[in-house]
Amino acid sequence: MADPVANTGSTATTPDGGVDNLIQVENLEVRFYTQVGVVRALNGVDFNIPRGQVLGVVGESGSGKSITGLSIMQLVPRPGRVEGGRILYKDKPDSKTINILDLGRQSDEMRAIRGDDIGMIFQEPMTSLNPVFKVGAQIQEAILLHQTPNKQEAWDRAVDILDKVGMPNARRVANSYPHELSGGMRQRAMIAMALSCSPNLLIADEPTTALDVTTEAQILSLMRDLQSEIGTSIMFITHNMGVVAQMCDEVAVMYLGRIVERATVDDIFYDPKHPYTISLLRSIPRLGQKRGQRLEVIKGGVPDPYSTVTGCPFHPRCPSFMPGLCDTVLPIEAFIEGKTNHTVRCHLYPGCTPDSDQAVTGVSGTIPTTSKAQ
Ligand SMILES: Nc1ncnc2c1ncn2[C@@H]1O[C@H](COP(=O)(O)OP(=O)(O)O)[C@@H](O)[C@H]1O
Ligand SMILES: [Mg+2]
């Protein structure tokens, strides 16, 4: 196994004192081969999730957050393909490390990992809930598959877990169909389903984006409570920095298929380094801000996924753009001086500009193979 990435502020350690990573993603590359070109959705993504920790993954739409989560589950949709990298997974601190990408997508081992070890919840609960079965029956099914063959016991556990996720009148909800529930209740039902097998890792992909702020706050505090109680690690995907502040221990900031900054939640908020992170933070609504007052938004938009950008992918929007460097050379990842758990990819910082003989011209999200259809 390669050395753990050192950029973690985790206290989870292995018996020999190393970082106890539940998941370690190395150099992950994902491409979509579409009729109009190749989308380079992930361009060498590296990160680790220490056991028991919450890692926030943030970035604007299109930065590769969902595809990163789906890669861990081996659920990247066609025409997407994982083309490189490793996803190392260690069930328990002393168990053998496996590379998830070595398992067949439909293999028994992969199915067992999906149901039992790693759970995923999405923005839209109906992606996981089946409209034709009662909510309780769906959770019972998951428990029967992975935990106990006893139907009554599985049903009781399903009701229990619905109760635990703060569902009022859990027994009645268990006997309801998903369409009979409100959005917030469906979201709770999906969380209950994902947690029913006490997964080692929960991948939560914008789980509260569609909810009103009160329900969002309730669900976030619920997830945080369950996380500390069960010890589940969470990969929390969001484009909302406010949510990150409430939920996460560490944060990975993504832009166009790369992690551009990685640090503890405190460093991201109080000592952000990458101009993109700084821009994201400026777009958080603040207390006391007058209603209707415009938020500061980041200049420009995320480039069209079929276009190409040389150098740093953020340079066309960057307030600190340095012509001749940022638009020609791709910055490499380096530690912030004096920090062992804070990395950045930006030419403003020492170590990020490769020596001229190792410099590669950066290509952002994509390599078009044909001109884009109009
Ligand atoms: N089914 C698909 N076909 C083609 N491109 C896709 C598909 N799904 C995702 N992508 C591309 O992959 C990139 C990353 O997408 P995604 O992970 O969904 O971003 P995020 O979750 O950060 O909004 C985007 O450029 C997107 O256009
Ligand atoms: Mg997404």
The predicted model scores a pTM of: 0.87
Residue 9: band (very low, low, confident or very high) from pLDDT cuts 50, 70, 90: very low
Residue 3: band (very low, low, confident or very high) from pLDDT cuts 50, 70, 90: very low
In a domain, 34, yes or no: yes
Residue 371: band (very low, low, confident or very high) from pLDDT cuts 50, 70, 90: very low
Cα–Cα distance measured from residue 311 to residue 360, given in angstroms and rounded to the nearest whole number:
8
Closest C-alpha residue for ligand 1 atom 17:
64
Residue burial 224-252, b: 16+ Cβ < 10 Å; e: rest: bebbeeeebbbbbbbbbbebbbbbbbbbb
pLDDT tens for each residue of 293-340:
555 567 777 777 777 789 999 999 999 999 999 999 999 999 999 999
Q: Return the half-sphere exposure (C-beta side, CA atoms, 13 A cut-off) of residue 52.
A: 14
The sign of the torsion formed by the CA atoms of 147, 150, 155, 161 equals negative
Residue burial 105-114, b: 16+ Cβ < 10 Å; e: rest: eeeeebbebb
The DSSP secondary structure of 6-20, one letter per residue, reads S------B-TTSSB-
101: domain CATH number is 3.40.50.300
Closest C-alpha residue for ligand 1 atom 6:
32
Atom of ligand 1 at shortest range from CA of 68: 17
Q: Is 61 in the pocket of ligand 1 (CB under 6 A)?
A: yes
Domain span including residue 280: 1-125+200-288+295-374
Res 326: pLDDT? 97
Res 296: pLDDT? 58
CA 56 to centroid of ligand 2, rounded, Å = 13
Residue 370 has pLDDT above 60, yes or no: no
Atom of ligand 1 at shortest range from CA of 78: 1
- The vertex-239 CA angle with 235 and 245, nearest 5°, equals 70
Residue 188: band (very low, low, confident or very high) from pLDDT cuts 50, 70, 90: confident
Q: Is 39 in the pocket of ligand 1 (CB under 6 A)?
A: yes
Res 364: pLDDT? 45
Overall number of domains in the chain: 1
Candidates 364, 345, 353, 354; CA nearest to 259 is 345
Atom of ligand 1 at shortest range from CA of 60: 22
Tokens of 348: 């403003």
- What is the average pLDDT score of the chain? 86
CA 373 to centroid of ligand 1, rounded, Å = 18
CA 208 to centroid of ligand 2, rounded, Å = 12
Tokens of 340: 């062992």
In a domain, 244, yes or no: yes
- Reduced to 3 states (helix: H, G, I; strand: E, B; else coil), residue 106 is coil
In a domain, 321, yes or no: yes
- Average pLDDT on 215-223 reads 82
> Which of 61, 63, 81, 123 to mutate for ligand 1's pocket (most ligand atoms within 8 Å of CB)?
63
In a domain, 337, yes or no: yes
> Which of 66, 81, 206 to mutate for ligand 1's pocket (most ligand atoms within 8 Å of CB)?
66
Res 286: pLDDT? 62
> Which of 30, 31, 39 to mutate for ligand 1's pocket (most ligand atoms within 8 Å of CB)?
39
CA 279 to centroid of ligand 1, rounded, Å = 22
CA 64 to centroid of ligand 2, rounded, Å = 7
Nearby residues of 12 by Cβ (< 8 Å), 6 or more positions away: 19, 20, 50, 51, 52, 53
Closest C-alpha residue for ligand 1 atom 26:
62
Cα–Cα distance measured from residue 52 to residue 73, given in angstroms and rounded to the nearest whole number:
19
Residue 218: band (very low, low, confident or very high) from pLDDT cuts 50, 70, 90: confident
In a domain, 147, yes or no: no
pLDDT-wise least confident of 5-14, 21-30, 136-145, 246-255: 5-14
Residue 291: band (very low, low, confident or very high) from pLDDT cuts 50, 70, 90: low
Residue 237: band (very low, low, confident or very high) from pLDDT cuts 50, 70, 90: very high
CA 57 to centroid of ligand 2, rounded, Å = 10
Res 1: pLDDT? 38
- Average pLDDT on 51-66 reads 94
CA 62 to centroid of ligand 1, rounded, Å = 5
Cα–Cα distance measured from residue 330 to residue 352, given in angstroms and rounded to the nearest whole number:
9
Q: What single-letter amino acid sits at 337?
A: E
Q: What single-letter amino acid sits at 348?
A: L
pLDDT higher at 310 or 1:
310
Cα–Cα distance measured from residue 63 to residue 173, given in angstroms and rounded to the nearest whole number:
37
Q: Is 194 in the pocket of ligand 1 (CB under 6 A)?
A: no
pLDDT tens for each residue of 171-180:
999 999 999 9
Residue 102 has pLDDT above 90, yes or no: yes
Residue 374 has pLDDT above 50, yes or no: no
In a domain, 12, yes or no: yes
- Reduced to 3 states (helix: H, G, I; strand: E, B; else coil), residue 235 is strand
Residue 192: band (very low, low, confident or very high) from pLDDT cuts 50, 70, 90: confident
Q: What is the CA radius of gyration of the chain?
A: 21
Res 292: pLDDT? 54
Residue 7: band (very low, low, confident or very high) from pLDDT cuts 50, 70, 90: very low
- Reduced to 3 states (helix: H, G, I; strand: E, B; else coil), residue 86 is strand
In a domain, 154, yes or no: no
What is the side-by-side strand order in the sheet with 54-58?
118-121, 201-205, 233-238, 54-58, 250-255, 258-264, 343-344, 334-335
Place of tokens 């001086």: 337
Res 17: pLDDT? 63
- Cβ atoms within 10 A of the Cβ of 176, count? 15
In a domain, 135, yes or no: no
Residue 129 has pLDDT above 60, yes or no: yes
Res 75: pLDDT? 94
